[in-house]
Amino acid sequence: MAQVNYTEDNIRSLDWKEHIRLRPGMYIGKLGDGSSMDDGVYILLKEIIDNSIDEFVMGFGNKIEIEIEEGKVRVRDYGRGIPLGKVIDCVSKINTGGKYDSKAFKKSVGLNGVGTKAVNALSDFFRVQAFREGKSKLAEFNRGELVTDKKIGKTTESNGTMMEFIPDKSIFHNYKYRPDYVENQLWNYAYLNAGLKLHFNGKVLYSKNGLLDLLTRKTDVEKLRYPIIHLKGDDIEIALSHNNQYGEEYYSFVNGQNTTQGGTHLQAYREAIVKTVRDHFNKNFNTKDIQQSVIGAISVRVEEPVFESQTKTKLGSLNMGPDSPTVKSFIMDFVKTNLDNYLHKNKDVAEQLLKRIQQSERERKEIAGIKELANKRARKANVHNKKLRDCRVHFSDKRGDQDKKLASTIFITEGDSASGSITKARDVQTQAVFSLRGKPLNSYGNTRKVVYENEELNLLQHALNIEDGIEHLRYNQVVIATDADVDGMHIRLLLLTFFLSFFPDMVKHGHLYILETPLFRVRDKKQTFYCYSEKEKQEAIKALRGKAEITRFKGLGEISPDEFGAFIGNNIRLEPVVLNEGAVIEDILAYFMGKNTRERQEFIIDNLKVEVDKSEEKEVMDIPSEEQAITEAVS
């Protein structure tokens, strides 16, 4: 082994912006291109808006303006405005800010003086301008370097702060802000800050009833088992109901921050619901029977919260504040007292809640024997078959390991040729492959019993480790990879139906994706273009001056492993499956997977179009399949 010198020359001291740019994951989690809800570009936006929200919480400014155009972000609030003499320090000096002074900012999200500086360092362009009492201060930066420092001058603008930034394209490659992701992010701010108006690209987002509005928008209230229970207290707000879908669905917040990975407060809330229900009915119900089909939300405000990372997606704080009760005991006491009182006062709600629990109990006992048999089959299959080509690194929310979270992907494909190509091309460290045998069962309208009775679906849920919910999901990205023909689209539709029916949290938490693979290869002796649409194909032909060999990929098995390596590597194209705000899963599946209704026939006929593929000199019928229709409804 060659000797490596270790001297004083090997020791480096980085300034604040160098460290952020060298290790951005420490500050904003994963980078990404905007196709996932937790990609870095949305964290940048959140860090800026959090400061404006904190102003509103402290009683200053009830309007925030957010504009995003071609990747450029502008946020303007009408709070107090950064003190003019400290504007530059607040956006360019680590551990500098007003959040250290608990008198100025109590129970705020930002406490470490890092967020805005990370945005500054990771942006090609960053501008900050503060307005206070008729005066203004403006400064501009490039990748954290100060390039414009204007003197304090007069202004007619109202008090507040304006920040603009353009993420650094050398770090956020081919990034794009998805308006639906941003809007979802802003709605959460609205729900947690009743009375605040958020203006986003011409829309006004506003909530009057907080978490009650959140659950009302996230579900079909007419299909809830009982009206949403909405309870508020000092520093706590909860909302709760049961529906008919599988699994649990929670929305949790700390100081207005959406804690997508939960934490101390959410665990306490789930436990408190179980204990309160058991005590109210004086019966030791199975925990899963109570939690099955819960849809709930909780928001707490904590002094100096302790999060498990700078992205603040999981709470680790134990206390509500100095000399205050623990988060767990505070939540347990509130839920036990207020939920129990509510159930005593609303006997009809208590009765419907009891019936839902008893239904879950019957369903659980009904499939108990089948489940055990299926589990034995799955364990045996894992040893003897080759359906799953696993990777070495797996994702787990509990580990809190950002690097592992980034890496873990599983491709669900059909057939030996397609799975073979992906398997040979994949990164064995981080990418797994699950091979289906033919078309999976249409699970629409069935109970969980069918999952255990069907070998393919049972093995799939075991491969993902989601039998008891997605808390222990082994892969952060679950990618449906099927051929771009009629059969492939049908398989994709059946898999979407499976996940939406039994594991909707896979979609709601941003874990389900569609792999985009090229339709055409256009090349000459010197250059090769892979094209994902007819438009890209025509552009490639033009670039090669019309002299090109054109190949139409009709199936994944036709793409060689060498070529596949490019499509599932650094340049992978993934289309996330997203539920639009207000979309109801049951209605979507009933429309597209139910009986062949007249409305669905008319939809397909109205969207029928005929295109001519000139390269192959034949007519191609481009008929929007049911899969395309359902994807449009949820993404």
Roughly how many angstroms between the first and final C-alpha of the chain, as a whole number?
A: 53
pLDDT at residue 401, rounded to an integer: 39
Choose the weakest-confidence range: 36-50, 270-284, 591-605.
Answer: 591-605
Q: What is the mean pLDDT of residues 33-51?
A: 87
Choose the weakest-confidence range: 197-201, 541-545, 563-567.
Answer: 563-567
* Residue 520 backbone phi and psi in degrees, to 5: -135, 150
User: Distance between CA atoms of 454 and 441, rounded to whole angstroms?
Assistant: 8
Q: How confident is the model at residue 438 (pLDDT cuts 50, 70, 90)?
A: confident
User: How distant, in Å, are the alpha carbons of 267, 476, 623 from that of 134?
Assistant: 48, 50, 61
**Is it the case that residue 436 has pLDDT exceeding 50?**
yes
Q: What is the mean pLDDT of residues 268-283?
A: 95
pLDDT at residue 363, rounded to an integer: 86
Choose the weakest-confidence range: 302-311, 407-416, 481-490.
Answer: 302-311
Highest mean pLDDT among 91-105, 212-226, 228-242, 610-624 belongs to 228-242
**Is it the case that residue 84 has pLDDT exceeding 70?**
yes
Whether 286 and 277 have beta carbons less than 8 Å apart is answered as no
pLDDT at residue 489, rounded to an integer: 84
| Token pair for 488 | 């492939």
User: Distance between CA atoms of 363 and 371, rounded to whole angstroms?
Assistant: 12
**Is it the case that residue 550 has pLDDT exceeding 70?**
yes
SS3 for 608?
A: coil
β-pairing, 512-515 vs 477-480, is parallel
Residue 195's identity, in one-letter code, is G
Whether 506 and 247 have beta carbons less than 8 Å apart is answered as no
| Token pair for 369 | 């024997």
pLDDT tens digits, one per residue of 110-162? 444 578 899 999 999 999 999 999 999 999 999 999 999 999 999 999 999 99
pLDDT at residue 402, rounded to an integer: 41
Q: What is the DSSP letter of 219?
A: S
As to burial, measured by CB atoms within 10 angstroms (0-12 exposed, 13-18 middle, 19+ buried), residue 279 is exposed
The mean pLDDT of the chain is 81
All structural domains of the chain: 16-205 (3.30.565.10), 211-361 (3.30.230.10), 385-517+553-634 (3.40.50.670)
Q: What is the mean pLDDT of residues 362-367?
A: 86
**Is it the case that residue 309 has pLDDT exceeding 70?**
no
pLDDT at residue 405, rounded to an integer: 42
pTM of the model: 0.73
Whether 79 and 86 have beta carbons less than 8 Å apart is answered as no
**Is it the case that residue 397 has pLDDT exceeding 50?**
no
Percent of residues, the chain, with pLDDT higher than 70: 82
pLDDT tens digits, one per residue of 323-335? 567 888 899 999 9
What contacts 634, CB < 8 A, 6 or more positions away? 496, 500, 507, 577, 578, 579, 580, 583, 588
The candidate with the shortest Cα–Cα distance to 303, out of 112, 105, 115, 95, is 105
Whether 287 and 308 have beta carbons less than 8 Å apart is answered as no
